[in-house]
Structure 1
Amino acid sequence: MTEAPLHIPPLADDEIHIWRCRWAGGAGERAFAGILRGYVGDEAVPIERGEHGKPYFPAPHDTLGFNWSHSGDVALLALGRGSAGFEVGVDVEAVRPRARALELSQRFFAPPETARLQGLPEPERLQGFLTLWTAKEAVLKAHGSGLSYGLHRVAFSLNKEGAMPEAFEGDVGVAREWQVRPLSFGDGLVAAVAWRGEKRALRVFTFPL
């Protein structure tokens, strides 16, 4: 039986598309390969890797930026269009007990971020830690440097809306140049997507498995 082709919605320049699917057993990689082919419109375009392993399409298809992340059996793919070299980053983390959250914060986060976490009530501390972690990862994955850049060099404040860019260092650019948005799935996941530039609308899709 032949599977029906996947419907790929139009991706406007003022949008970021998020696709969610299962990851286990290679399902996520297969799904993302099909989705990416649909957006780029050419199955022959190879996916290349940057210096730190970030996947990207070579020119002239590099106006489509994309990134993926997975935690447990959940995977997210983020895509956006822009000028040549446009990049987007996404990170997802499953909520599970992390006894060393504060210790990790003291080691890897900016001191004001750790102070904010310490000031939170115990039940809210893990959520705060994961909110900061996913925001940082999303920015550094969009930048293409990953964790080697230094989590403390992209510092955020915390409020009810999530993590807000506060003080960035180095060639990642200044904090006000970035958009960082939390992604809410309501099922034990914390996630964020990030890109440099103007605000965009988010559209979330689920890959049918």
Structure 2
Amino acid sequence: MQAFDGFLPTKVAEPLRADEIHVWRLHRAKGAGRKPLLALLATYLDVEPAAVRLVAGEHGRPALDPAHGGTLDFNWSHSGEQALVAVARGLVPGIDLELRRTRASALEIAQRFFTADEAAWLATLDEDARHAAFLELWTGREAVLKALGRGLAFGLDRLAIRSDAAGLSLQRLDGEDPGAWQLHRLGVGADAFAALAWRGTPRHIRGFALADAS
């Protein structure tokens, strides 16, 4: 599978192949709500943004209304004025984005909600490395849970993630075979962390950024 190699600036969505996942980096101004998301999805559906209909799953995850054909799925995440959108056919993607920020309680949160091994590993790191590693584990969890169709209430300690120089990997997920999952670190610059997950076979990840994205 092709490794994620960044975001290609473009103004037009390319055709989405069955063996691909498209990841878009968008600028989301304060107060914009879902407008950037709907505008992007409209290009894949070949409709006007006002015609895009979304529904909420059992646990609140947004998805396209089945009236759009049921073959296209997406997930999105936003932090500050940045947003990431994953678009795919035939699978449910999960994506998460977090801007870099210092969390005084990062280790305390990990000790309460992560696995004991993860918390112990974080405790061995210096402060800067700990905050970065915490956000990597957090975005990885969020991405998996969103692909699973569940929220944080599922239980953050019911999955285990490994973060190292090779990337992210899912070590355990209650009720699931972690080997059936894909989990990837997305390079979004020094000021943010992001992860993409899905249940299924490997796919090519293609990154795009709208011309006016930050």
TM-score (norm 2): 0.87
Aligned match of 1:177: 180
The AA in structure 2 aligned to 1:56 is A
Aligned match of 1:3: none
- Shift in Å at residue 28 of structure 1? 6.1
Aligned match of 1:20: 25
* Rounded Cα–Cα distance in structure 2 between residues aligned with 1:120 and 1:34: 42
Aligned match of 1:55: 62
1:28-58 superposed Cα distances (whole Å, 9 cap, x missing partner):
6222101111112344452111111111123
- Shift in Å at residue 135 of structure 1? 0.4
The AA in structure 1 aligned to 2:65 is P
Percent sequence identity over aligned pairs: 44
The AA in structure 1 aligned to 2:75 is N
Which stretch has the larger CA shift, 161-170 or 187-196? 161-170
* Rounded Cα–Cα distance in structure 2 between residues aligned with 1:75 and 1:184: 14
1:105 and 2:113 aligned: no
Call closer, same or farther: CA 1:28–1:185 in 2, change over 3 Å. Answer: farther
Aligned match of 2:73: 65
Query: Which residue of 133, 138, 142 corresponds with 1:133?
Result: 138
Matches within 5 A, 1:165-204: 165-170=170-175, 173-204=176-207
The AA in structure 1 aligned to 2:60 is G
Contact 2:30 2:81 in 1 (8 A): no
Structure showing greater relative contact order (alpha-carbon pairs closer than 8 Å, 6 or more residues apart): 2
Contact 2:41 2:52 in 1 (8 A): no
* Rounded Cα–Cα distance in structure 2 between residues aligned with 1:26 and 1:12: 33
Aligned residues between the structures: 199
- Shift in Å at residue 112 of structure 1? 1.1
TM-score (norm 1): 0.89
Unaligned runs of 5+ in 2: 1-10
- Shift in Å at residue 203 of structure 1? 1.1
1:4-50 superposed Cα distances (whole Å, 9 cap, x missing partner):
xx522111111111111122234462221011111123444521111
The AA in structure 2 aligned to 1:153 is R
Contact 1:179 1:196 in 2 (8 A): yes
Moved over 3 A (4+): 42-45
Unaligned runs of 5+ in 1: 1-5
Which stretch has the larger CA shift, 119-128 or 69-78? 119-128
